[in-house]
Chains A and B, each alone.
Chain A
């Protein structure tokens, strides 16, 4: 069955992973800008990274018949350095009109600091100025609940940002209702250790009737599985899901959200 991987950090994956994902039915991968595993020394590092995700990765994906899209930002882990963050945000206009760029992301919070919040709001302002979609990262583990609430509150200060054009990612059982009840889309990330297992994801999908939710592997350089989405689709079959409802989550939902950008053509 065909599916969309709406959140994968392919710069940190091998070409073999593209092949495995294509064989599993992946038709499109969307790559949010993220932390490299270390703090970059200057905005020049981000310039090269933005070139990589807007120019090189689409070509690597195309070799396997996969469409590649991306999102731009400085991630919250590096947002404590305000000068660096300002310099990186200033680069975004050079790249935002490139063909595969869907919007601003994955912005958000990491440790819920004032500087992170300030840079988050600057990114949202850029999204508002360019009428771009927004993909939001919520903090890890014990910081997720507080960060999710701060993010939702901060977005209320941007009346031109429509909730249906914002996806708040990495939700879990204690944050999904808060996100969806405010009108945003929600992303469920399938990780072998942290975040969510396939069965927990399916529980949440059933609880919320799969409305305005996508699921993703967020595969990167850490413990993660680029085939987490098709494996969860298999778990859905075992739990009695119809092919139509599986397709709704794995294909229709991400297509509906990202299709709000005219650049997303599936």
Chain B
């Protein structure tokens, strides 16, 4: 295997700002929508709000920490699988 060659520096803000801006506004609109509908107590919405608070931290590990915030923190196997799918947030 060749050694790691880092990519040449590009303007990542130029590449990603508009996409991120769009996703953030979509998220804001989603929170508005579920609030107007009286559904903001749903555990998934609460999990989103908890995760949003992590975006203000300084370390460049926000994606990791958001994923951790949605994760089941337990360590032992469950006795039986009660369902086959996943909801996206640990309840």
Contacts and interface: CB of A to CB of B under 8 A. Distances in A.
Given A209-B4, A240-B8, A145 B80 contact: no
A144 B68 CA distance: 10
Interface residues of B, number: 37
Contacts of A89: none
A110 B81 contact: yes
Given A80-B81, A111-B83, A256-B1, A142 B10 contact: no
A265 interface: no
Q: Is the interface of A mostly helix, strand, loop or mixed?
A: helix
Contacts of B81: 80, 110-111, 113, 115-116
B74 A203 contact: no
Interface in A126-185: 139-146, 149-150, 172-174
A206 B5 CA distance: 10
Most buried by A among B7, B16, B79: B7
Interface residues of A, number: 42
A114 interface: yes
Nearest to A247: B2
A116 B72 CA distance: 17
Contacts of A115: 80-81
Interface of B: 1-2, 4-10, 12, 15-16, 61, 63-64, 67-68, 70-75, 77-90
Interface of A: 77, 80, 110-117, 139-146, 149-150, 172-174, 194, 199-200, 203, 206, 209-211, 236, 238-242, 244-245, 248, 252, 256
